[in-house]
A and B are shown apart, each in its own frame.
Chain A
Amino acid sequence: MMVRAAIALAALMIVPCAARAADSPDCRLMRYAAIPFTTLADGRIAIPVGVDGHPASFLVDTGGVYVSMTPELAKQTGRTPKQVDRWLVGVGGSMMTTAVHVDEFTIDKLKGSGIPVYVDTRLGIDVDGTVDPDMMAKFDVDFDFAHGLMNLFSQDHCPGKVVYWARNFVVLPMEVRVNNGHIRVPVTLEGKKVMAMLDTGSTDSVMSLKLAKALGIAEDSPDLKLTQSAGSAEQFRTYSYPFKMLDMDGIAVTNPHITVMSDAMLPGMGDDVILGMGILRQLHLYIAYKEEKLYVTPAE
């Protein structure tokens, strides 16, 4: 949840280099990249990338929109950030108004050129930028969290033939939002069907008070404990609640830690529960963007 788009930027291009080939008829997957990731202190992950030949570490953010980098990296690569017509609003309320064009952006053996990258002054000291759905959605993305690996596969494969690591798995229909590339899947929370957005850029899982009420949690429930309150009308509130179970069609997470936020704190977020890394890290996820399916097993 690092960055929310205000308006779309021109599409980024990163394409597989010479290794591109037709998938074999026996339905084997074509793996373009196997990327060992680094785990940040808060459990999120970052991958090594190359920006105009400079090695860098970029946060993987399925809840973001566009690739971004720090002003320091822009400076190191000799790029002067230029103002863009389309601004992005960061979560902290900052405005991202500048971007640079990168001649060469590499992830493992993949190479892209002429890539516009937003400049974000709010990134923490552990990362140099973010990789977001504008780039990831051109591939199938496989998060093997327990083994420290993010794989990028070709999207051209036999339907449903992607789970190479386990015999038993869950497959969920997946909606990819056109305007931001966010991934939504149906889950069952407290026995009721809701939509969940997968956000590797967020440590925590969150949901609106409106959604909590729809799940049958009354605002005056003694279990719904106010943890923070602010604003002139105390309209910005966070709550804890002892959720019992989040079920992904057969894979259940017990006692999921999901923060409930007053609706004023989640404008425009709809009725989705946002699943952050606290929950996602326990899973092995294969995101088939083109097929619009999410394949899930436990992480171990």
Chain B
Amino acid sequence: MKKVILAALLAGAGTTPVHAGGYTFLNIGINLLNQDRYADSIPWFDKALAAGDLLPDQIHVARLDRGMARAETGDYAKAAGDFTAALAMRPDATRALMLLAYAHIGAGENDKAIAEIAQLKAKGAAGYRVRYNSGLLEWALERYNEAGEDFKAAADDGYRYAWLWQQMVNLKLGKPVTSYRGESVAVPGEHRRLKIRGGWPEAIVDFYLGDATEKDVFDAVGESTAQAGRACEANFYLGEWRDLHGDVAGARPMLQKAAQDCPSGYEEKRMSTLELKRLP
């Protein structure tokens, strides 16, 4: 067949396709967003939405993604508008509701965020992921008692990251670190159980329990092929530990590294940025 040329990243190529429709523009925007090129992505979402030929599902994701890009560039008011529009199209979209709450927190509209968190909790009383995420929002609002309840509920369901956040809340409130249930499995073919160790984020759990040092944690990062995510998490949770123990000077560079290096989509990226703003 005759050669067909598709431009994967027109922004990089500096060209515009002759017959491109909204779908092409949407793809460019998504690709730029996935590369954390937030400001670059916004005009492509604008073009995609203006083209007038997107499917409802594609309009939804264009709104959602443009909102994310706008929030990342600090334009919380416009981001909230996009998330609200996305929610209107798909009222059951949990992510859109979460993002709307974050946008309202960013804009200082805490009352609205609190109402959205209540909606979020009403959606997923049985789900650890929703409780975990509502806990993060409560933490962002500095409502630590509420955050602690959410994290405990998610941790009791076995979510290990929720256990870490539960301990951060405990330390924030001057309470002791609680015990860790851990995870163990029977060894196939043998009459014994093996505690899963070395499984991430066990090294950080051990650190919070006082059973590991910072070096142990970073050594565990170094052994992993999933290092980018682990390094991000190590810097974030150890940085938080330092901050919670009054070592602001030690916490800052670790949180800065987390904010810079965490893969997009990791909540630790958003939360480290937020925590840095709070440091004295």
> Which A residues fall within an 8 A CB radius of B?
36-43, 70-72, 75-76, 83, 85-87, 91-95, 97, 121, 124-126, 146-148, 168-170, 203-204, 228, 230-233, 236, 238, 242, 246-247, 250-257, 264-267, 278-279, 281-283, 297-300
Contact = CB atoms under 8 A, between A and B. Distances in A.
A179 B71 CA distance: 43
A265 to B, nearest CB: 5
Interface stretch (B20-28, B163-171, B174-182): B20-28
B34 A252 contact: no
A282 B6 contact: yes
B222 A300 contact: no
Interface in B83-123: 94-95, 98
B55 interface: yes
A39 B57 contact: yes
A298 to B, nearest CB: 5
A230 B230 CA distance: 10
Contacts of A36: 57
Contacts of B21: 300
Contacts of A94: 199-200
Given A75-B126, A125-B129, A252 B5 contact: yes
Nearest to A42: B34
A228 B7 contact: no
B130 A125 contact: yes
A64 to B, nearest CB: 16
Contacts of A169: 1
Q: Specify which of A97, A170, A266 lies most central, judged by the most chain B CB atoms within 10 Å of its CB.
A: A97
B13 A255 contact: yes
Given A76-B126, A126-B95, A93 B58 contact: no
A125 B95 contact: yes
Contact of B225 (A97, A124, A267): A267
11 contacts: A36-B57, A37-B57, A168-B2, A247-B3, A251-B6, A252-B6, A253-B7, A255-B10, A255-B13, A266-B225, A300-B21
Contacts of B261: 228
Given A36-B57, A250-B3, A95 B94 contact: no
A114 B7 CA distance: 45
Contacts, number: 160
Contact of A92 (B9, B55, B229, B231): B229
Nearest 9 pairs of A and B residues by beta carbon: A232-B222, A236-B227, A85-B188, A168-B1, A43-B30, A230-B227, A72-B127, A39-B61, A231-B222
B142 interface: no
A275 to B, nearest CB: 11
Interface residues of B, number: 63
Interface of B: 1-10, 12-13, 19, 21, 23-24, 27, 30-31, 33-35, 55, 57-58, 60-61, 64-65, 68, 94-95, 98, 124, 126-130, 133, 157-159, 185-186, 188-189, 196, 199-200, 219, 221-222, 224-231, 261, 265
B55 A41 contact: no
A14 to B, nearest CB: 25
Nearest to A245: B5
Contacts of A93: 199-200, 224-226, 230
Nearest to B264: A42
Contact of A254 (B8, B65, B221, B231): B8
B58 A281 contact: no
B161 to A, nearest CB: 10
Nearest to B193: A83
B226 A278 contact: no
Contacts of B157: 71
A72 B132 CA distance: 13
Contacts of B60: 39
Q: Among the interface residues B4, B35, B229, which one has the most CB atoms of the partner chain A within 10 A?
A: B4
Contacts of A91: 226
A121 to B, nearest CB: 7
A63 B234 CA distance: 28
Nearest to B35: A257
A278 B41 CA distance: 14
B98 A40 contact: no
A86 B186 CA distance: 12
Residue among A36, A146, A169, A233 facing the most chain B CB atoms (10 A cut-off): A146
Given A42-B265, A250-B2, A254-B7, A299 B224 contact: no
A236 B225 contact: yes
A236 B263 CA distance: 14
A91 B226 CA distance: 7
A43 B27 contact: yes
Given A40-B61, A125-B130, A148-B58, A203 B34 contact: yes
